[in-house]
Amino acid sequence: MSATVIDGKALAQEVRAEWKGRAERLKKAGMQPGLAVIIVGSNPASSIYVRNKARASREIGIYSEIHEFGENSSQEEVIQRIRELNGNPAIHGILVQLPLPPHFESTRVIESIAIEKDADGFHLYNVGALVAGNTVFPPCTPYGVMKMLEKYAIKVEGQHAVVVGRSNIVGKPMALMLLQKGATITICTSRTRELAEHTARADILVVAVGKPHMITANMVKPGATVIDVGINRLPDGRLAGDVDFESVKERAGYITPVPGGVGPMTITMLLCNTIEAAERQQAVRTQL
């Protein structure tokens, strides 16, 4: 039997519709949510992501600014701009598009974002809060995956979740969020021996590696939920995930496509975090 395909595009529209009203209420109260996106250098993929984020922001009623810096800009220059944005009352969320050029220390740049404006959830304070099970701003990609599981009523508690990949932006926070919801977690990396033995035990399999079609049907438990975070550009220009969709969909219970799966949810959760940040900042101002 073929798996249910999780429609990330439709779900993203549904979540955006839910949050649009919150953005409108804030605007009526005199506080339009504002997002500043910082991009350094001319990575073509990053430029597309940044433009998409700005467009999606406008559509939901978030004011957005893009701050572009040349490849040879200094770290201090970028940090100085972040400090200004930290103090700007029209901006409630700030994100730095990664990766930064090699002469940047990403952690130092992210650390300069005010905690309450860290819409990507990458500041060490927010990472620590996530570890402590007290999430402030959940990182957008795993947040989007959790929203997908919730919307499709896929049980997490007591399930065995296997996360392939341990990056700070996807794999690690994903594992922590699934753990928080009561799953038993296995994290696999490039050093894992017998990867297929682990993946084949997963009730929920999340793959965030960056290798096209690496997860094949024989690596998946029948009926499992398979979430494909990977985005890979094939030589013919098409996009592909880390999961071999055609074969795995005949074995899984639920599966996400690429494109149209996790990607649209990631941007959506960034918008949600920005609106949430504005709501919190409004609540603080009301108390003053």
Collapse the DSSP code of 66 into the 3-class scheme (helix H, G, I; strand E, B; otherwise coil) and give the result.
strand
Q: Known catalytic residue: 228?
A: no
Out of 142, 165, 173, 257, which residue is the one contacting ligand NDP (CB under 6 A)?
A: 165
| CA distances, 277 to each of 80, 173, 283 (Å) | 21, 20, 10
Residue tagged active-site, from 120, 228, 242, 244: 120
**Unique residue bearing structure tokens 């084949």:** 200
Residue 167 found at the interface with ligand NDP (CB under 6 A): yes
Residue 175 found at the interface with ligand NDP (CB under 6 A): no
Task: Check if the beta carbon of residue 208 is closer than 8 Å to that of residue 227.
Answer: no
Stretch that binds ligand NDP, among 83-91, 227-235, 243-251, 278-286 (CB under 6 A): 227-235
# chain residues binding ligand NDP, by CB under 6 A: 25
The first and second tokens of residue 219, run together, are 């690596």
Task: Check if the beta carbon of residue 114 is closer than 8 Å to that of residue 83.
Answer: no
Residue 195 found at the interface with ligand NDP (CB under 6 A): yes
Angle, alpha carbons 244-143-64 (nearest 5°) = 110
Residue 206 dihedral angles phi and psi, to the nearest 5°: -115, 125
Out of 85, 164, 175, 204, which residue is the one contacting ligand NDP (CB under 6 A)?
A: 164
Closer residue to ligand NDP, CB minimum distance, 99 or 222 = 99
Q: Known catalytic residue: 159?
A: no
Residue 188 found at the interface with ligand NDP (CB under 6 A): yes
- Taking the complex as a whole, how short is the minimal distance between the CB of residue 87 and ligand NDP, in angstroms? 30
In terms of C-beta density within 10 A (0-12 exposed, 13-18 middle, 19 or more buried), how is residue 34 classed? buried
- Taking the complex as a whole, how short is the minimal distance between the CB of residue 171 and ligand NDP, in angstroms? 5
**Unique residue bearing structure tokens 């033995």:** 197
Out of 11, 31, 36, 208, which residue is the one contacting ligand NDP (CB under 6 A)?
A: 208
Residue 169 found at the interface with ligand NDP (CB under 6 A): yes
CA neighbor of 46 nearest in space, from 3, 81, 97: 97
Collapse the DSSP code of 2 into the 3-class scheme (helix H, G, I; strand E, B; otherwise coil) and give the result.
coil
Each residue 116-155 as x (binds ligand NDP by CB under 6 A) or -, in order, gives -------------------------x--------------
Closer residue to ligand NDP, CB minimum distance, 195 or 217 = 195
Residue tagged active-site, from 53, 117, 147, 172: 53
Characterize the bridge pairing of strands 239-240 and 232-233. Answer: antiparallel
Q: Known catalytic residue: 53?
A: yes
* Alpha-carbon span 188 to 223, nearest angstrom: 21
The first and second tokens of residue 12, run together, are 């993203």
- Residues of this chain that bind ligand NDP (CB under 6 A): 141, 164-167, 169-171, 188-192, 195, 208-211, 229-232, 262-263, 266
Catalytic machinery residues = 53, 97, 120
